[in-house]
Amino acid sequence: SQQGEEDPQALSIQEGENATMNCSYKTSINNLQWYRQNSGRGLVHLILIRSNEREKHSGRLRVTLDTSKKSSSLLITASRAADTASYFCATDAEYQGAQKLVFGQGTRLTINP
């Protein structure tokens, strides 16, 4: 089973708008990562935020982390059609007695031209 939950499961917006996706997790973490997956492809690493960081930026991406609420958000500003993909959060939590990367179920983002 997966420990992360993304919200919403699906999001459809117009090109140029901002997209916000949320991720909640259950156990304490060392870091949280966001990945993107285009249809039929492997995952691409977007950004990593450590547990002692609250916000991180990379280009049009902004990630926040609230360890007290065990949640993170990914904001994509000025969205483009090429941003259409599924987005997953992943935590390196100690889970079931072993360190492993645990993914959420993902948010399917559609950018309409």
Partner 1 sequence: GAGVSQSPRYKVAKRGQDVALRCDPISGHVSLFWYQQALGQGPEFLTYFQNEAQLDKSGLPSDRFFAERPEGSVSTLKIQRTQQEDSAVYLCASSLGGLETQYFGPGTRLLVL
Q: Which residues form the interface with partner 1 (CB under 8 A)?
A: 2, 4, 30-31, 33, 35, 40-45, 48, 88, 90, 92, 96-106
For residue 101, the minimal CB distance to partner 1 (Å) is 5
Distant-in-sequence, close-in-space partners of 96: CB < 8 Å, separation ≥ 6? none
Contact present, 43 and 88 (Cβ < 8 Å): yes
For residue 30, the minimal CB distance to partner 1 (Å) is 8
- Can you tell me the distance from the alpha carbon of 32 to that of 83, in angstroms, rounded to the nearest whole number? 21
Q: Looking at beta carbons only, is 12 or 18 nearer to partner 1?
A: 12
